Amino acid sequence: MTDNKEQDTEIHPLKSEEGVSPASPAKKGVCVGGLGLSHLSSWRTAAFFLSLFLCLTIVFAFSFIIPCPVRPVSQHTWSNTYGDSSTYTFLAVTDANNDKVMDVIFAFRGSSGSLNASCSDEGVTLWQNNNTLELKQPAVTIPDLDEDEVGDVALIGAAGDKTKVVIVSGQTGRQIGIDTDPGISGVLGHVIHVTSSGSYYLLFKKDSAVYGYALKNIIAMAIKTPQSNIKLQQDPKWEEMTNSTSGSVPVYNLGSVQHLLKMVIQGKTPENLLVVTGHWVELIDGQSLSSLWRVNITNVISEPVFGNFNKDGVPDVMVEDEIGNGTKKVVILDGSSGAVLWEVKLMSSSTSPKPSTVNTTDYRSAFLFWGEVRGETYTTVSLNQQHFLYLLHPSYPKVLLELNNSTENIAAFKAVLFEKSRHACYMLLTGPTEHSQTGSVSLAKRKLKEDVARSRVVRLSQEEGFSDQEIRDGFFKLRYSSSA
């Protein structure tokens, strides 16, 4: 018996012989008195779990009763065809109905001569403005002048041999003031430019030069009011460069200007200006107008596009340079220095559309362009009748993917991110562009990933140590972004 008690004590050292912990009488009294608190704690626990059960019941009930909002879903591929028509080289992408999915806007002309827009069937027409200007260039958005909290629009076009500017309300389309003549003729293009002080200038591209006009002055002429009544400001540095007779700023006058583009760098104001002449591509500072770099070329055959080949945060420039004998050189220039980052020679077609780019989540871009890799043999169809679309990504600089080929006349082409951070694709507008001819006009959308999956790998050298399927898989895993 003694041994059993000692063994029990070793196993349960805090137990007494009566089966309770040894304690003083006072301590025992406290424990017995605490039974009331123990019952209260049990009620509290029961109340907590009952409340939790009711909350979960309500949550689950309403999760089935109240449906989740339906997210717009865009089809991966589609094609619309319009018979007995001709089209234009215009193709734009915007969210017209605010459903967070990009919409496509283009124009075509039917055999009856009427002009149609791709969104006309949906009724997304906000306003119309009829005027006698011959509008050859896109409208530009300007600050809100009529204080209706909607940015207004400047329409720029030709009226005879003069260039005129018409200001209209972005809310209603109503003209603000009268047509204005800034005193410049022979305009071939324009952009809206904002200086480092936040001053707005309209830049007009002529064949031989680029001139800037203060938007404040143009608006003052339109509404016939002193400049002091216009809330917009003028840049002191640019005003020092303004010609007192013409009222214009000589932005660029060093050669025949073919293209004028703005290089957008996130977080930097103002944007720099890319000028393409008959002999070089030059980047100029958007504030001081001094040259940042210049690269000699033979003959640029399309408008350059911006993309990111490296990760320095400065957009790079893809240029197509015709070098003779039906051959072009596709070159990517470093946006910071103008140095050549990548290049390839392709068989060239005068009817090929300009390149396009779309950003990827690794802070670089996918580059898409048309041509034919030299030495490749496909069919007996001449290059002027067949176009090959290639995809390049900096991860595989010595490899191209052939995504598509077409024998149609390509009026316009554009790579697009239809939904934020997903669903990269490209648009292809084909059909006759000569308005004296009519035929079948087609607008097609193709998803990049679907074309990548069945693409053909074209090796520019044999140094890449990946199989064709591994390269396709690498391109297929690319993720796309709406920002660089």
pLDDT in tens, 371-404: 998 765 544 445 456 789 999 999 999 999 999 8
Q: Taking Cα atoms as reference points, which of 417, 441, 418, 419 lies closest to residue 428?
A: 441
Q: In the prediction, which pLDDT does 17 show?
A: 41
Tokens of 158: 């030709």
Residue 314 sits in the same domain as residue 292: no
User: Could you tell me which residues come within 8 angstroms of residue 97 by beta carbon, excluding any fewer than 6 positions away?
Assistant: 103, 122, 124
Q: Determine, yes or no, domain membership for 68.
A: no
Residue 372 sits in the same domain as residue 311: yes
Residue 204 sits in the same domain as residue 324: no
Q: Taking Cα atoms as reference points, which of 301, 280, 304, 317 lies closest to residue 349?
A: 301
Q: Look at the chain and report how many structural domains it folds into.
A: 2
Residues of the chain with pLDDT under 70: 1-40, 58-75, 96-98, 111-123, 125-130, 136-137, 375-385, 421-422, 463-464, 484
With contact defined as beta carbons under 8 Å apart, do 201 and 213 qualify? yes
pLDDT in tens, 448-470: 999 999 999 999 987 668 899 99
Q: In the prediction, which pLDDT does 85 show?
A: 85
Q: In the prediction, which pLDDT does 64 show?
A: 53
User: Could you tell me which residues come within 8 angstroms of residue 27 by beta carbon, excluding any fewer than 6 positions away?
Assistant: none
Tokens of 61: 């009930």
Owning domain of residue 388? 80-122+305-484
Q: Where are the alpha helices (DSSP H) in 172-322?
A: 215-223, 236-240
Residue 140 sits in the same domain as residue 255: yes
Q: Is 270 helix (H, G, I), strand (E, B) or coil?
A: coil
Task: Classify the C-alpha dihedral 137-139-142-146 as positive or negative.
Answer: positive
Q: Is 45 helix (H, G, I), strand (E, B) or coil?
A: helix
Residue 383 sits in the same domain as residue 351: yes
Instruction: Write down which residue in 276, 296, 316 finishes a domain.
Output: 296
Q: Determine, yes or no, domain membership for 69.
A: no
Residue 263 sits in the same domain as residue 355: no
User: Could you tell me which residues come within 8 angstroms of residue 320 by beta carbon, excluding any fewer than 6 positions away?
Assistant: 300, 301, 302, 304, 328, 329, 330, 331, 348, 354, 355, 369
Verdict on whether the full-model pTM lies above 0.75:
yes
Q: Determine, yes or no, domain membership for 92.
A: yes
Residue 335 sits in the same domain as residue 257: no
Residue 177 sits in the same domain as residue 263: yes
With helix as H, strand as E and coil as C, how does 390-436 read? Answer: EEECCCCCCEEEEEEEECCCEEEEEEEEEECCEEEEEEEEECCCCCC
Q: Taking Cα atoms as reference points, which of 80, 136, 133, 85 lies closest to residue 103?
A: 80
Q: Determine, yes or no, domain membership for 424.
A: yes
Q: In the prediction, which pLDDT does 207 show?
A: 83
Residue 92 sits in the same domain as residue 236: no
Backbone angles phi, psi at 217, to 5 degrees: -65, -40
Residue 376 sits in the same domain as residue 442: yes
pLDDT in tens, 73-106: 556 788 888 888 888 787 877 776 667 777 787 7
Q: Determine, yes or no, domain membership for 67.
A: no
Q: In the prediction, which pLDDT does 39 show?
A: 62
Residue 206 sits in the same domain as residue 325: no
CA distances from 375 to 169, 378, 379, 467 (A): 55, 10, 13, 21
